Amino acid sequence: MPARFCPQCGTKVVPQAKFCMECGHGLVPGSAAPSQIVRRSVTGYGVFAAFLLSGLGIWAAILTPDAPPPPLGGARPAAGATTPPAGEPAKVELPAEITKMVGELAAKAAAKPDDLGLWTHLGEVYYRTAQFDHSYYPKALAAFEHVLARDAKQTDAIRGKANIYYDRSEPALAIPLFERYLALKGDDPSVRTDLATMHLYAGDAPKAIAMYKDVLAKDPRFVQAHYNLAAAYHEQGDDAAALDELRTARRFATDERVQQQIDQMIAKLSGAPAPAAAPVAPAPAAPGETTRTPFQQLVEQQLRGHEIVGPRIAELRWTAPGRLEARMREFPMAQMPPMARTAFEKRMVGYLEDARKTHPVDGAVAIVMVDADTGDTMATITP
């Protein structure tokens, strides 16, 4: 009798699947997964939610620097679960500052039961916090239900509730909510792709394929739909079509880590050796600057390869042989909890020490973190 749930991560198995589409675990001897389902993140609300989206994400990445990059979409719990899949920690221990701020926001919302914007905000904050501590999922669901009990047409709350059921692999509950959102808000390729994915999880691959194609007819460059369509084709046994979609997704993908993930999945599905990750090349010198030394090149490569720092670098400027000014955009260093900031600075010091050990340099070494928009110095990091 075929397995109904993946023995590795607990995700519900799509009928006739040869692999788990979430963790890639083979369900049939010798099978290989093309990839996990891709999902685009939902935009947060307000300054506090932005802190959770960026600051909390930075915190988690900093405190687990040796963990591999998360797979596209990430593994989700089995249907209805409030605990993480096998292989994930029960929860990431959140800093006291964050739990305090979440609690204060909840108290503020409790005092204003008719402030639907505040309650939607609370639901989104709970939802984001649940990515690190799954016990927050019921709280997020309750917050969104509080909003919808007062106004059934609040689209942000509808989508928030749908996202929770999506994460919990409950398509029967997620599908009507995504449909309700689209009926009120109008077409949204990301939501429509999520809806198609829920149909795929419900076992209706033909319907999911038709919906992915509809999304791509309107936006041929939408990587998420191409990628998930590839997974749906694979479930139907059409690996040639799956490879075509993966290659199309690769052509339109702009994020280097997404490109590498797609390359690996193409290799798995085609049976070719997985390509090695390309090293991160140092940026060319700015006009008037001398060529980077080996020490400088290594430090830049480490920073640009960092999963959080790299995408936020606006400019790297050497003001002395060992002193780098890193100008950053949307990098909430001032909002980092103390323990996260300490861990982050320790990691930056490690970069400097590793580079200095490999390529000795005269004089002091330092990384100066600068806000690219204001020019303010956020930190000067030295061994």
For 326, the 3-state DSSP assignment is strand
Question: Do residues 45 and 154 make contact, with C-beta atoms less than 8 angstroms apart?
Answer: no
Same domain, 85 and 113: yes
What is the extent of the structural domain holding 78?
Answer: 46-270
Q: Supply the pLDDT for residue 195.
A: 95
What are the contacts of 168-172 at 24+ separation with CB within 8 A?
168/76, 168/77, 168/79, 168/80, 168/81, 168/82, 168/137, 169/11, 169/12, 169/76, 169/77, 169/78, 169/79, 169/81, 169/201, 170/79, 170/80, 171/198, 171/199, 171/201, 171/202, 172/202
Domain boundary among 203, 235, 270: 270
AA identity, residue 107: A
Same domain, 350 and 266: no
Same domain, 245 and 116: yes
As for how many domains the chain has, the answer is 3
How far is CA 217 from each of CA 79, 213, 244, rounded to the nearest angstrom? Answer: 31, 6, 16
- The pTM of the full predicted model, rounded to 2 decimals, is 0.61
List average pLDDT for each run of 10 residues in the chain, which is 383 residues long. 44 49 47 49 34 43 38 39 45 71 92 95 88 88 97 96 91 96 92 93 93 94 90 88 92 77 84 59 50 90 81 89 90 71 83 90 92 88 92
Q: Supply the pLDDT for residue 24.
A: 47
Domain boundary among 215, 235, 270: 270
Same domain, 255 and 229: yes
C-beta atoms surrounding 138 within 10 Å:
13
| Alpha-carbon gap, residue 290 to 298, rounded angstroms | 16
DSSP annotation string for 4-54:
SB-TTT-PBPPTT-SB-TTT--BSSTT-----PPP-PPPP--HHHHHIIII
Q: Supply the pLDDT for residue 11.
A: 46
What CATH number does the domain containing 246 carry? 1.25.40.10
Torsional sign, CA 361, 363, 369, 375: negative
Q: Supply the pLDDT for residue 237.
A: 86
Q: Supply the pLDDT for residue 29.
A: 47
Establish if 288 belongs to a structural domain. Answer: no
| Alpha-carbon gap, residue 150 to 317, rounded angstroms | 53
Provide the strand spans (E) within the chain. Answer: 313-320, 323-328, 366-371, 377-381
Among the listed residues 375, 254, 260, 256, the one whose alpha carbon sits nearest the alpha carbon of residue 314: 375
Domain boundary among 225, 254, 270: 270
Provide the strand spans (E) within 310-358. Answer: 313-320, 323-328
Among the listed residues 118, 92, 90, 91, the one whose alpha carbon sits nearest the alpha carbon of residue 105: 118
